[in-house]
Amino acid sequence: MASTVMIDKAAPTRNPAYGSMSRDRAWALKWSYFFLTLFAIFSLVPPLYMLITSLKSSAEISAATNPWWVFHPTLSNYVGLLTSNQFLTFFRNSVLVSIFVVTITMLISVPAAFALSRMRFWGSATLATGVFLTYLIPDTLLFLPLFKMFAVFGDWTGIQLINRWYVLVVVYPTLTVPFCTWIMIGYFASIPKELDEAAIIDGASWLQTLTRIFIPVALPGIIAATIFAFTVSWAQFLYPLVFTTSTDQLVLPVGIITSLVKGDVFNWGQIMTGALLGAAPPLIIYAFLMDYYIAGLTAGATKG
């Protein structure tokens, strides 16, 4: 019994200020978990439903059973899609468009952001605001004039852009470049001015300052911008719907809808499978790059 701790009930209670503060924190924590759970359910139910449906046969989908349970699981939807040339063509088109768009976007917006945030030249501040304003123009407003422009361009030069997958490589940067430039301007602005001044005194040119100091230091920001550009080009629906029509030129989001909905027949099992497979690449990329996204590489640069 020597190890028993005696508790003196008459002893004064602990500092009430400390206790009340921790009670507040505990409540804050409980509420945040409550809403986080609510939000998680809200956003995870649709993909879950997609997954369940994708594992069912067409007969089971139309049968009047519990829609939240798979009684006869089958991979036939997956096999069917992954062995269909059509689906693989959509996938290939999506991948090509996204790779080109991301590359073009980063090649333009990183140097542009560097110039706008660091090389003080006449009108640079106005230009930076202008870049952002461009992003505010809704794309629904642009697709008709763009269509007309591509048609005229085709008439003049003989280069046909409409109904080719690469038309999207021309169109998407109009959405991604302004936004990514804006993100990068913000990120570059957080890099202390002394860092590029030190580089300039060390004898670096502007280009060397960008490639050897700014890009490595701003890597988390660059990755964030890359993820954004990828997500936009992977998930765009309106532009591909307008600009591409032939089956071999379609990208995933449009391809799934147009090839799997025939008249009033909805091939739900394959639609859900296609959507799930289509959502996989962004998911994987997010999962791998999330740490970079959050990490602050600038730690230690200055007094910090």
Contact footprint for another protein (CB under 8 A):
192, 194-195, 197-205, 208, 212-213, 216-217, 297-304
Cβ atoms of 147 and 243 within 8 Å: the answer is: yes
Which residues partner with 266 through β-bridges?
A: 261
Least distance CB 67 / another protein (angstroms): 52
- Closest CB to another protein among residues 19, 296: 296
- Closest CB to another protein among residues 18, 121: 121
- Closest CB to another protein among residues 174, 208: 208
Q: How far apart are CA 50 and CA 268, in angstroms?
A: 9
Q: How far apart are CA 45 and CA 31, in angstroms?
A: 21
Least distance CB 301 / another protein (angstroms): 4
Which residues, other chains included, contact 173 with Cβ-Cβ below 8 Å and sequence gap of 6+? 101, 104, 105, 108
For residue 171, give the nearest of 160, 161, 180, 159 by alpha carbon: 161
- Closest CB to another protein among residues 16, 304: 304
Cβ atoms of 128 and 117 within 8 Å: the answer is: yes
Tokens standing for 98? Answer: 């996204």
- Closest CB to another protein among residues 174, 298: 298
Q: What is the DSSP string of 255-295?
A: HHHHHHEETTEE-HHHHHHHHHHHHHHHHHHHHHHHHHHH-
For residue 252, give the nearest of 234, 227, 238, 239 by alpha carbon: 234
- Closest CB to another protein among residues 213, 242: 213
User: CB-side exposure of 225: number of CA atoms within 13 Å?
Assistant: 32
Least distance CB 142 / another protein (angstroms): 39
Which residues partner with 262 through β-bridges?
A: 265
Least distance CB 108 / another protein (angstroms): 24
User: In terms of C-beta density within 10 A (0-12 exposed, 13-18 middle, 19 or more buried), how is residue 222 classed?
Assistant: buried
- Closest CB to another protein among residues 134, 211: 211
Number of CB atoms found within 10 A of residue 301's CB: 15
**What is the length of the chain?**
304
- Closest CB to another protein among residues 168, 213: 213
In the chain, the amino acid numbered 78 is Y
